[in-house]
Structure 1
Amino acid sequence: MDITADVVRSIYTGVQTAFQQGRATYTPTWTQIATEVSSTTATEDYAWMGEFSRLREWIGDREVNKMAMHGYSLKNRKFEATEGILKDYIEDNTLGGVFKKFEDMGYAAASHPDELVYDCLAKGTQNLCYDGQPYFDPEHPMGEGQNMKLVSNIQDGTGVPWYLLDARRPLKPLIFQKRRDYKLTAKTDDGTSDRVFMADEYLYGVDARVNAGYGFWQQAFMSKAELTADNFNVAFKRMMQLKSDKGRPLGIKPSLLVVGAEHLAAANQLIKAMQKEGGASNTNYNQVEVLASEWLD
Structure 2
Amino acid sequence: MIINKGNLTALALAFKAAFQGVLGQAPSQYLEIATVVPSTTGAEEYGWLGSLPNVREWVGDRVVHGITSHGYTIRNKSYELTVAVPRPAIEDDQYGVYTPLMAEMGRSMGAHPDQLCYGLLAAGRTEKCYDGQAFFSKTHPVTGANGKDANQANLDDSGGANAYWYVLDTSRALKPLIFQNRKAPNFVSKTAETDDNVFDRAEYVYGADRRCNVGFGFWQLAYASNKTLDAAGLKAAIVAMTSRKGDNGRPLGINPTVLVVPPTLEFEARQLLENAVNEAGATNELKGRLKVQVASWL
SS in 1 for 2:166: strand
Question: Is contact 2:43–2:76 with CA below 8 Å preserved after alignment?
Answer: yes
Task: Please say if residues 52 and 250 of structure 1, whose CA atoms lie closer than 8 Å, have aligned partners that are also in contact.
Answer: no
Q: What SS does structure 2 have at the residue aligned with 1:186?
A: strand
1:188 correspondence with 2:191: yes
Instruction: Tell me, yes or no, if the aligned pair for 2:34 and 2:176 is still in contact at 8 Å.
Output: yes
**1:53: Cα distance to partner?**
4.8
Percent of aligned pairs sharing the same letter? 38
CA deviations on 1:50-103 (whole Å, 9 max, x unpaired) are 133532221111111211210211111111000111110111001111111101
Deviates more, 1:81-90 or 1:164-173: 81-90
TM-score (norm 1): 0.96
User: Structure 2: which amino acid aligns with 1:182?
Assistant: P
Deviations 1:133-169 (A, max 9, x none): 0000000000168521000001122210000000000
Instruction: Give the 5 Å matches for 1:122-201.
Output: 122-143=122-143, 146-156=147-157, 157-158=159-160, 159-191=162-194, 193-201=195-203
| In 2, Cα distance between equivalents of 1:187 and 1:33 | 37
Query: Does structure 2 conserve the Cα–Cα contact (< 8 Å) formed by 1:51 and 1:244?
Result: no
Q: Partner residue of 2:79?
A: 79
TM-score by length of 2: 0.96
Q: What is the deviation of 1:288?
A: 1.0
Query: How many residues were matched structurally?
Result: 295
* Distance in structure 2 (CA, Å) of the matches to 1:27 and 1:167: 19
Q: 2-side partners of 1:236 and 1:222: how far apart?
A: 11
Shift of 1:24: 3.8
Q: Which runs of 5+ in 2 are unaligned?
A: none
Q: Secondary structure at the match of 2:107?
A: helix
Of the structure 1 ranges 177-186 and 139-148, higher mean CA displacement relative to structure 2 is found in 139-148
Which stretch has the larger CA shift, 159-168 or 23-32?
Answer: 23-32
Runs of 4 or more consecutive aligned structure 1 residues displaced over 3 Å after TM superposition:
none
For residues 276 and 58 of structure 2, what CA distance do their matches in structure 1 show? 45
Q: Which runs of 5+ in 1 are unaligned?
A: none
The 2-side partners of 1:120 and 1:53 are apart by 28
Deviations 1:216-237 (A, max 9, x none): 0000000010101001111100
Q: Displacement of 1:278 after TM fit? A: 2.8
Following superposition, the deviation at residue 123 of structure 1 comes to: 0.1
RMSD over equivalenced CA pairs, Å? 1.2
State the alpha-carbon separation in 1 of the partners of residues 255 and 149 from structure 2: 23
Q: Matched residues in 2 for 1:81 and 1:269: separation?
A: 39
